[in-house]
Amino acid sequence: MSLLLFFCTFLFLLSKNTIANDIMVQKEHLSVGKTLVSSGQTFEFGFFSTNNTKNLYLGIWFKNITPITVVWVANRNHPLTDSAGVFTITDDGNIAVLNGSKIAIWSSKSSRSVGNPVVQLLESGNLVLKDDSASYLWQSFDYPTDTRLPGMKLGLDLKNGFSWYLTSWKNVNDPSLGDYSYGMDITGLPQFVILNASTKQFRSGVWNGVLYTGLVGFKLMDIFRNINDINADEVTSTFENKGNDSSVITRELLNERGKLQRFRWDKQTMKWIEMLVLPRDKCDAYNHCGINSICNIAISRTCECLQGFTAISPEQWSINNWTDGCVRKANLECASDIFVQIEGLKLPDMINFLVNQSMSLKECDSECRRNCSCTAYSNSDIREGGSGCILWFDDLFDVRKFSFVPLNQHLFLRLASSEGEPIFNNTKKKKKNSQVLMKVLVSVGSGVFFFCLVIFLIIWRTRRTDTVLNDGERRNDLDLPLFDLITIQSATNNFSHTNKVGEGGYGPVYKGKTSEGQEIAVKRLSKDSGQGSIEFKNEVILIAKLQHRNLVKLLGCCIQGEEKILVYEYMPNASLDYFIFDKKRSKLLDWDTRLSIVKCIAKGLLYLHQDSSLRIVHRDLKASNILLDWNMNPKISDFGMARLLGGEQTEAKTERLAGTYGYMSPEYAVDGHFSVKSDVFSFGVLVLETMSGKRNRGFYHDSHHHNLLGHAWILWNEGTPCELMEPGLEDSNFATSQKVLRCIQVGLLCVQTLPEDRPSMSAVVYMLSSENSLLLEPKEPGFFFERSLDDHTNSYPRNSENQVTNSLVAR
Ligand SMILES: *[C@@H]1O[C@H](CO)[C@@H](O)[C@H](O)[C@H]1NC(C)=O
Ligand SMILES: *[C@@H]1O[C@H](CO)[C@@H](O)[C@H](O)[C@H]1NC(C)=O
Ligand SMILES: *[C@@H]1O[C@H](CO)[C@@H](O)[C@H](O)[C@H]1NC(C)=O
Ligand SMILES: *[C@@H]1O[C@H](CO)[C@@H](O)[C@H](O)[C@H]1NC(C)=O
Ligand SMILES: *[C@@H]1O[C@H](CO)[C@@H](O)[C@H](O)[C@H]1NC(C)=O
Ligand SMILES: *[C@@H]1O[C@H](CO)[C@@H](O)[C@H](O)[C@H]1NC(C)=O
Ligand SMILES: *[C@@H]1O[C@H](CO)[C@@H](O)[C@H](O)[C@H]1NC(C)=O
Ligand SMILES: *[C@@H]1O[C@H](CO)[C@@H](O)[C@H](O)[C@H]1NC(C)=O
């Protein structure tokens, strides 16, 4: 019996052809179709071919990942064209690829001759050639192609004059040497650069003893730990998976378009998840704003001249062509020049420079003053209060500003004395004034924009056909209480003003008490719903069937003459906006409550989108439509309104019922396209508002003119998203901040510009509830520029509303 079992196992292994064999000795060879597999089954080594060609390449790939993900290629420029080729250890102890005529088309060219060489594919993905001695004779990790794995070095071996760098493939199907490379530049202080042939595309900014000044934005949730080794012998950087978790599979790729990406394999979805990409934004593009300027994603125009400088070509500059950069307003006078201090910069590139690591900042200052072509200086090392000196001469290249990162390094910029006082003196006041002016200009601009948007909407709405709300079931078998008007009138004290608790876009809401003592909320719908009573009743019955603990419960309705009234359960704790936007009341919502509120809203919305029979798009999700019960459980209200009020049939009505500025997705606001993904956008806004305690619209910040989404996006890019968190809540600690951070990231994913990039609500619920699930890197949000029109109402300004109606009547 046991013998049978043994053979069975043996046969099984044979048939799967996975006899783990990670070693090959001299005189053996590996022919096409045969592979070495690393001991833990992670990597496989052998010949592979790409999609378009019959070319064969020797390489290493992930064994259990499809489609094949190659991490290293030996003969990238010399493919094998016949399947009679082999991989072998040659007599002189090198490894080589021999073609059918036994001619080496690739070899390791190791110069040391050895005894008993063996080749081994390690579990790290490193292919090594070794003998009886301790060190490797050759290893693939020393000859990277386009991929870096944990443990691989990038940088320079100064002792042996050897450098490790990545080079891209020509295209996804051609591993031969492409145009792009990524490696360490030590012209001055060390920095990483991505080159296109020999043109800089991106640089990390110089190393200042603690970090690369342009890479401050690495995310807190980054799963990689970067290890920098900067000393007299070596300037290198490696990365490892946080916690050294060997079950986590990661890689860094310089792709064929010159982007550096970091990926993690997600075992659940069987997909590579992009965790980081460089360049990240336009300010990462090398010298994006031209010389002597500052690139800053936090300002609406992105580029500004350095203090004391002005655009070389003002007309080009005014149409956002930054090519020429900036020039001094006043010529330097040398002896009487002053230096202004600028904070938070990715320091200028090392073009014309001097570095002296043993100078103090004071010596640096006098050295720069002494030479008239010295334009700026800075400490070269920020550790222990700062030391060393960098001097820049002539024009300054590729400077970017971070608004929220406390970089403890200043640039001292030389200016003619006429260009004003050092920055910390009077200049602050001036800046304030110009900011106020800016603000006014932006307000005027956005007013015009708003107007145009309304016109747009009118045009689009009149042409649009809505398709999202499908018909669903139409059975009338539900017992929905029909209240009569008299009952409701007496419950609400005849719709008395004192009973009014709110005014939504669809009409006023009153608190009431039935004769049995039950508290109810009564929504008196605007009279012009444009739908017949029977249809309306059918709709109410359908909507009433939607039952979920995170939806406000519809108790009944009343249809009498012109009156259409909905009766809901009464929610004692008002709505979410009542708490989060109020200085005092917001303290009542601690982090646990906020996180739970966000999760519950997500579940309610998922129910509307997917799980209910009606598949409803809410279209007006916002903080004031989230009601809270005694236990602060949130319930979505006003769902199904578009259906109830016949929004589908009459465009004019849809117009008035459409969502709320600040919560509307770009495709909805501009094109009138709505879908579940426009609700997802509104949900994202709601999440960011709940985490920050700030309204999206009407958001104000000293250092930029964006709304809350823009603010969150800047903080995210600069690696400080926790700044968004409402300050001063009692249960703030590291564990909660990690949860909040996840929530903010989900929020940002939801407000991405393109609907197809936004997750579905089921993905959102999953991401919020499983704390170890992987999150994508969010892309730029939609509508993150500022508009300062007040927004506390639900509908459009009166005049334009009238215009809408009129224009429709006229048609
Ligand atoms: C290669 O071909 C397969 C199957 O035709 C396809 O799924 C895959 O996307 C292709 N890969 C590339 C890189 O073109
Ligand atoms: C092997 O390579 C040599 C040199 O490039 C070439 O002359 C020969 O034709 C190749 N043999 C085969 C079978 O491709
Ligand atoms: C790289 O250089 C080539 C040739 O000059 C150019 O066509 C290409 O657009 C450049 N790539 C990028 C990303 O700028
Ligand atoms: C991770 O593993 C590598 C190789 O085994 C080791 O050198 C390194 O010190 C480990 N790092 C941590 C943080 O444990
Ligand atoms: C941008 O400005 C430069 C220099 O003034 C000019 O040569 C170039 O044509 C301009 N580019 C565009 C797109 O106008
Ligand atoms: C660096 O500065 C120190 C102190 O001012 C000076 O003694 C030394 O000569 C300088 N080194 C170089 C290479 O200029
Ligand atoms: C100023 O520095 C530059 C760059 O190091 C050098 O070429 C030039 O000779 C210096 N000028 C003086 C007056 O020292
Ligand atoms: C600010 O200006 C005053 C004179 O207006 C001057 O005395 C002072 O030194 C300046 N402060 C700094 C930090 O330069």
Q: Chain-wide mean pLDDT for the chain?
A: 81
**Residue-wise pLDDT tens digits, 747-759:** 999 999 999 999 9
158 lies in some domain? no
CB within 6 Å of ligand 2 — which residues? 82, 99-101, 103
Tell me the C-alpha distance between 566 and 536, whole Å: 11
In the predicted model, is pLDDT for residue 184 greater than 60? yes
Q: At 154, is the secondary structure helix, strand, or coil?
A: strand
Residues 438 and 496 in one domain: no
806 confidence band (pLDDT: 50, 70, 90): very low
What's the CA-to-centroid distance between 171 and ligand 1, angstroms? 13
Instruction: Report phi then psi at 206, rounded to 5.
Output: -75, 155
What is the CATH classification number for the domain harbouring 562? 3.30.200.20
Q: What is the pLDDT of residue 475?
A: 54
The pLDDT-based confidence of 404 (bands split at 50, 70, 90) is low
Of the candidates 110, 143, 176, which is a domain's last residue? 143
Average pLDDT over residues 715-741: 83
Domain boundary at 544, 570, 596, which? 570
- Asked if residue 450 and residue 324 are part of one domain, the reply reads no
Ligand 4 centroid to residue 243 C-alpha, Å: 8
Distance CA 692, CA 110 (A): 59
- Closest CA to ligand 1's atom 7: 67
What CATH number does the domain containing 84 carry? 2.90.10.10
Q: Is the pLDDT of residue 14 over 70?
A: no
Proportion of the chain above pLDDT 70, given as a percent: 82
Q: Which residue among 77, 82, 99 is best mutated to probe the pocket of ligand 2, counting the most ligand atoms within 8 A of its Cβ?
A: 99
**Which CA distances in Å does 453 have to 324, 336, 514, 541, 622?**
34, 53, 44, 36, 20
> What is the predicted pLDDT for the residue at 160?
86
Task: Please provide the size of the chain in residues.
Answer: 811
Question: Residue 635, Cα to own-chain centre: how many angstroms?
Answer: 29
Angstrom distance (rounded) from CA 295 to CA 283:
5
Q: Can you tell me whether residue 83 is helix, strand or coil?
A: coil
636-652 pLDDT, tens digit each: 998 877 677 654 433 33
Mutate to test the pocket of ligand 5, among 313, 318, 321, 322 (most ligand atoms within 8 A of CB): 321
Look-up: residue for tokens 């949730």?
Answer: 221
Supply the pLDDT for residue 246. Answer: 76
**Side-chain-facing half-sphere of 727: CA atoms under 13 Å:** 1
Q: Which residues contact 144 (CB under 8 A, 6 or more apart)?
A: 72, 152, 154, 164, 165, 166, 167
Judged against a pLDDT cut of 90, whether residue 145 lies above it is answered with yes
Q: What is the share, in percent, of the chain residues with pLDDT greater than 90?
A: 43
Told to judge if 620 belongs to the known catalytic residues of this protein, a careful annotator would answer yes
**509 and 640 co-located in one domain:** no
Q: How far is the CA of 187 from the centre of ligand 3 (A)?
A: 23
| pLDDT band for position 504 (cuts 50, 70, 90) | low
Terminal Cα-to-Cα distance of the chain (whole angstroms)? 88
- Contact (CB, 8 A) for 96 and 106: yes
What is the mean pLDDT of the segment spanning 272-283? 85
Please state the atom number of ligand 8 nearest to the C-alpha of residue 425. Answer: 1
785 and 657 in a single domain? The answer is yes
Residues 6+ positions from 180 with CB-CB distance below 8 Å: 167, 168, 194, 195, 196, 201, 254, 256, 257, 258
Non-local (6+) Cβ contacts of 267 within 8 A are none
335 & 415 share domain: yes
Question: What pLDDT is stored for residue 48 in this prediction?
Answer: 95
Q: Is the CB of 244 under 6 A from ligand 4?
A: yes
pLDDT score of 19: 44
Torsion, Cα of 274, 275, 279, 284 (10° steps): 150
The answer on 585 and 502 residing in a single domain is no
| Residues 132 and 10 reside in one and the same domain | yes
Ligand 7 contacts (CB < 6 A) are 354, 371, 373, 393
Q: How far is the CA of 190 from the centre of ligand 7 (A)?
A: 23
Global pTM reads 0.68
**Shortest-distance ligand to the CA of residue 370:** 7
Ligand nearest to the CA of 424: 8
How many angstroms separate the alpha carbon of residue 196 from the centre of ligand 3?
6
Which atom of ligand 1 has the smallest separation from the CA of 172? 13
For the chain, how many structural domains are there in total?
Answer: 5
* pLDDT for residue 473 is more than 80: no
**Peptide linkage before 67 cis (omega within 30 of 0):** yes
Probe target for ligand 4 pocket from 227, 240, 242, with the most ligand atoms within 8 Å of CB = 240
Higher pLDDT, 727 or 379: 379
In a domain, 751, yes or no: yes
CATH number of the domain at 612, please: 1.10.510.10
Query: Cβ distance 161 to 234 under 8 Å?
Result: no
Q: What is the pLDDT of residue 294?
A: 95
For residue 312 and ligand 5, the question of a CB distance below 6 A is answered with no
CA of 712 to the centre of ligand 3 (A): 32
359 within a domain of the structure (yes/no) = yes
Q: Are residues 562 and 696 in the same domain?
A: no
**Does residue 256 form part of some domain?**
no
Q: Looking up tokens 């730029």, which residue turns up? A: 780
Find the catalytic residue in 146, 281, 284, 620.
620
Q: How far is CA 58 from the centre of its chain?
A: 36
In terms of domains, do 710 and 755 share one? Answer: yes
Tokens of 318: 């005014």
541 in any annotated domain: yes
* 248 CB near ligand 4 (under 6 Å): no
Tell me which range, 360-369, 399-408, 723-732, is most confidently predicted by mean pLDDT.
Answer: 360-369
**630: Cβ–Cβ under 8 A, 6 or more apart, which residues?**
572, 573
Residues 535 and 444 in one domain: no
Residue 70 has pLDDT above 90, yes or no: yes
pLDDT band at 405; cut points 50, 70, 90: low
Per-residue burial over 202-218, b if 16 or more Cβ lie within 10 Å, else e, is bbbbbbbbebbbbbbbe
- Give the model confidence (pLDDT) of 155-173 as tens digits: 999 888 889 999 999 999 9
Residue having the nearest C-alpha atom to atom 8 of ligand 3: 196
Structure tokens at 391: 């001097």
Residue 149's pLDDT band, with cuts at 50, 70 and 90, is very high
Who wins on pLDDT, 477 or 118?
Answer: 118
Q: What is the number of alpha carbons within 13 Å of residue 194 lying toward its C-beta?
A: 23
The reply to whether 246 falls in a domain is no
For residue 346, what are the β-bridge partners?
400
pLDDT in tens, 579-637: 899 888 888 888 999 999 999 999 999 999 988 888 888 888 999 899 998 888 999 99
Residues 647 and 673 in one domain: yes
Please identify, among 426, 441, 459, the residue that sits at the C-terminal boundary of a domain.
426
The closest residue, in CA terms, to atom 13 on ligand 7 is 371
Whether 139 is covered by a domain: the verdict is yes
301 within domain boundaries = yes
Backbone angles phi, psi at 71, to 5 degrees: -110, -15
The domain of 482 spans 475-570
Query: Does 656 score more than 50 pLDDT?
Result: no
Over 50: is that where the pLDDT of 730 sits? yes
pLDDT digits (tens, 9 = 90+) for 661-687: 788 888 888 777 888 999 999 999 999
Residues 475-503, mean pLDDT to the nearest whole number? 80
Ligand 1, residues at Cβ distance < 6 Å: 51, 67, 172-173
Same domain, 27 and 45: yes
pLDDT value at position 335?
Answer: 87
CA of 320 to the centre of ligand 5 (A): 10
Per-residue model confidence (pLDDT) at position 746? 96
